[in-house]
Amino acid sequence: MLLAPTIRRMQEVSRSWQKKGLAIGLVPTMGYLHEGHLSLIKKAVQSCDRVIVSVFVNPLQFGPSEDFESYPRDLKKDRSLCRRAGVDALFVPSAREMYPASFQTSIEVEKLSRGLEGAVRPGHFRGVATVVAKLLNACLPNVAFFGQKDYQQAVVIRQMVADLNFPVKIVVCPTVREPSGLAASSRNSYLGESERKEASMLYRALQLGAEKWKAKMPAEEVIRIVKDYIAKHSGFEIEYVETSDPKTLLPVREAGRPAVLSLAARLGKVRLIDNILVGAGLKT
Ligand code: AMP
């Protein structure tokens, strides 16, 4: 497995693959790889001739009071997981490589970035869209793989790719969960054993909400039931629970319509997000 620390080197490698007519897949990550990442990598290995995984903790998408410094990192383990999974190249640029001192351009996907995560984390999706655009230009993939776990992110990236005509196909893969239902996440490593149990209640609450939504219960009641369940069964503090249109991400209030039911919640300093699709969602 090749290790590419610079954009120039990564582009050289990708161009040499392109010349041979090989289909290149990219899985962008912030590292500390888990089963969720590995499911994306597996899909990429199955459907592409060459697979690149990028590992870059992107400072641009963290707010000033967020966990950029403490975000878990273990490149050695990531390397061995990638090697075992059949990855061809690991792209691991430094922050200076991605953002030299003269850097001054960013990408804003306006409407889709406004609500949900965007409302609580101002500038987050500007950071995400900008880094993904740079990763696409550095790795030159034919296909890029994202997780439904970060639903709004996937929708934002699809819009950016369409608006800016990136010649890449975006594939969105289902959320991988632990047996308890807790969505796999690098941030789960912040949780102790009993906190993990509490965290699994978030998915239980979403499942309950999805049932009620399917049964055409009004949105306000569904949201209240999800919030109440979390408050009753865990110490998590809810940041938001929302029923949104799967394409526009605007709030949906018509009971039973296709929707993404999503939430963000905190336990101390740990902030987790999760979602569940009810009815037709993103084409994966
Ligand atoms: P991250 O390293 O957290 O930025 O995630 C990198 C990619 O993996 C993103 O496209 C995420 O949506 C995806 N991902 C993270 N967790 C999961 C999960 N539990 N299941 C599926 N995909 C995931």
User: pLDDT tens digits for 71-107?
Assistant: 999 999 999 999 999 999 999 999 999 999 999 999 9
Long-range contacts of 240-245 (CB under 8 A, 24+ apart): 240/116, 240/119, 240/120, 240/264, 241/209, 242/115, 242/116, 243/213, 243/219, 244/115, 244/116
DSSP code for 69: T
Choice from 37, 145, 177 to test ligand 1 binding pocket (greatest atom count within 8 A of CB):
37
> Could you confirm whether 124 is annotated as catalytic?
no
Spell out a b/e string for 46-74, using b for 16 or more CB atoms within 10 Å of the CB, else e.
eebebbbbbbbbbebbbeeeeeeeebeee
Confidence grade of residue 28 (pLDDT, cut at 50, 70, 90):
very high
Break the chain into its structural domains and give their ranges: 2-173, 186-274
Please provide the size of the chain in residues.
284
- Report, at the CATH architecture level, how domain 186-274 is classified: 2-Layer Sandwich (3.30)
Q: What angle do CA 189, 149, 140 make, to 5 degrees?
A: 100
pTM score over 0.95: yes
Confidence grade of residue 279 (pLDDT, cut at 50, 70, 90):
confident
Whether the pLDDT of residue 155 is over 60: the answer is: yes
Using the atom order of ligand 1, give the atom closest to the CA of residue 145.
10
Structure tokens at 83: 């090697």
Structure tokens at 31: 């590292």
Choice from 74, 82, 150, 178 to test ligand 1 binding pocket (greatest atom count within 8 A of CB):
150
- Report, at the CATH architecture level, how domain 2-173 is classified: 3-Layer(aba) Sandwich (3.40)
